[in-house]
Amino acid sequence: MTKSILIVEDEIMLQDVYKLVLSAQGYKIHTANNGAEGIQQLKATRPDMVLLDLFMPVMDGKEFLRNVDTSDYPDTKFVVYTNLSDTDTETEMLELGAHKFVLKSSMTPKDLVALVKVITM
């Protein structure tokens, strides 16, 4: 079955490269530009993985996870994919139901693919 990934990210250029690389790997990609859109897409698509950015307009990543009961989505892995390197936030996000907290500036497209493969295994 085709695995789907929801990319919640406001930076379009990043959105594009992730979409490019991951769809080339055969994943179905859905995108959202902010947390609010993200929740809509989450409900609609029930993806296998969510790549969640933190700093977004309208609704940020923190609010997204606060407004989402991750137990409603047992098959979805929520991965915080951000440039904010802050241990307090990391802890908070993991407590809110995030599966992993990744610094995106440390990841190349290849690294991303590897990460996604491992998580959606």
Partner 1 sequence: MKNLLALLGQIADKSQRPKVTRQIAQELGAEHLVIFIKDVEIDVFLPAEGFPQTLQDFHTWQNFLVSSIKKKIHHGTLPFPDQAANHAVGIAYKDECVLVLLGGKPREQKLESLRELLPLLASLFKHERHMMHSEAQLKLTDISLATTQEMAHKLDTTRRELHTIVTQYRSIFESTSDAIMILNYDGHLVEINPACYRMHGYTYKEMIRLRVRDYIHPDDHHKFMEIIKKTKAGKVFTISGTHVKKDGTYISVEVVCSGFTYKGQPHLLAVVRDVSQRRRAEEALRREFETEQRMELLMEQRNALRKVNKTKDEFIALASHQLRTPATVVKQYIALIMSEFAGPLTHDQMQFLQIAYDSNERELSIISDLLKTARIDSSRYILNKVPRDIVSILEESVGDLNSMYESSKQTVVVQAPQESIDVPVDPIEIKLVFMNLLENASKYSYPGTEINVAFYNRGSYAEIVIADTGVGVDREDQQRIFDKFTRVDNELSDTVSGTGLGLYWVKRIVEEHKGSVRLTSKLGRGSKFTVRLPL
Count of C-beta atoms within a 10 Å radius of residue 111:
12
**Sheet with 28-32: strands ordered across:** 28-32, 4-8, 49-52, 77-82, 100-103
Q: Which stretch binds partner 1 (CB under 8 A): 27-35, 69-77, 79-87, 92-100?
A: 79-87
Question: Least CB distance from residue 109 to partner 1, whole Å?
Answer: 5
94 binds partner 1, rule: CB under 8 A? no
Determine the Cα–Cα distance for residues 70 and 93; give it in Å rounded to an integer: 12
54 binds partner 1, rule: CB under 8 A? yes
Question: Least CB distance from residue 60 to partner 1, whole Å?
Answer: 10
- Binding residue count for partner 1, defined by CB under 8 A: 23
Q: Considering beta carbons, is residue 18 or 76 the nearer one to partner 1?
A: 18
Nearest C-alpha neighbor of 105 from the set 77, 84, 80, 88: 84
Looking at the DSSP assignment, which residues form a beta bridge with residue 28?
A: 4
Please give the residue ranges that form the binding site for partner 1 (CB under 8 A).
11, 13-14, 17-18, 20-21, 24, 54-55, 82-88, 104-106, 108-110
